[in-house]
Amino acid sequence: MNWRVRKNRLRLTSTDFNLAVKRLQHCVNQGRTDPMKIKTKTALLIAPIILCAGAALAADAAANWSQHCASCHGKDGSGITTMGKKLGVKDYRDAKVQAEFTDAKAAQLIKDGVAEGGKDKMKPFKDKLSDEEIKALVAYVRSLKK
């Protein structure tokens, strides 16, 4: 990666920007607070990128939810859709329903799908969505709680 700080501005190509965001995201996911042992000044310059990446991730989750999940679970997570009613999806706005599964369980089900009697009720998404996207979707599902 090749970046320079010049006249208090951080110059990055979009490829480098994406790489930086990926690296930082990785570090954040590992719970590390000193990702690249960067100097304070550089850290101050990079902070907006991290915030921006976080916002981008949340936006991705909302877009992924609309695209892949809302047809059954509903935009609001209520499950009040034609498919949702047919398949008996639960209301994720309900705190009691939310308490029935852990984040890990939810991520695993999104990855591997939900089957009953040898039939897919919810298809596996592991080929369509990355681990990071799935993690963001779990957080999104949590945010649907009323």
Kindly list the residues in this chain that would bind ligand HEC in the complex (CB under 6 A): 68-69, 71-73, 83, 87, 89-90, 100-101, 105-106, 109-110, 114, 121-122, 125, 137, 141
| Cα 136 to chain centroid, rounded | 2
For residue 113, the minimal CB distance to ligand HEC (Å) is 8
- The CB-of-126 to ligand HEC minimum distance in angstroms stands at 10
Please identify, using beta-carbon distances, which residue of 17 and 101 lies nearer to ligand HEC. Answer: 101
Distance CA 45, CA 56 (A): 18
Tell me the CA distances in angstroms from 10 to 4, 20, 22, 75, 80, one per residue in order. Answer: 6, 12, 17, 38, 47
Alpha-carbon gap, residue 99 to 126, rounded angstroms: 24
- Minimum Å distance from CB 132 to ligand HEC? 13
Pick the closer one to ligand HEC by CB: 10 or 126: 126
Comparison of 71 and 130: residue with beta carbon closer to ligand HEC: 71
If one counts every other C-beta atom within 10 angstroms of the C-beta of residue 136, the result is 22
Residue 134 burial (C-beta neighbours within 10 Å; 0-12, 13-18, 19+): buried
Q: Do residues 93 and 107 make contact, with C-beta atoms less than 8 angstroms apart? A: no
Comparison of 11 and 120: residue with beta carbon closer to ligand HEC = 120
Q: Which is nearer to ligand HEC, 12 or 125 (CB)?
A: 125
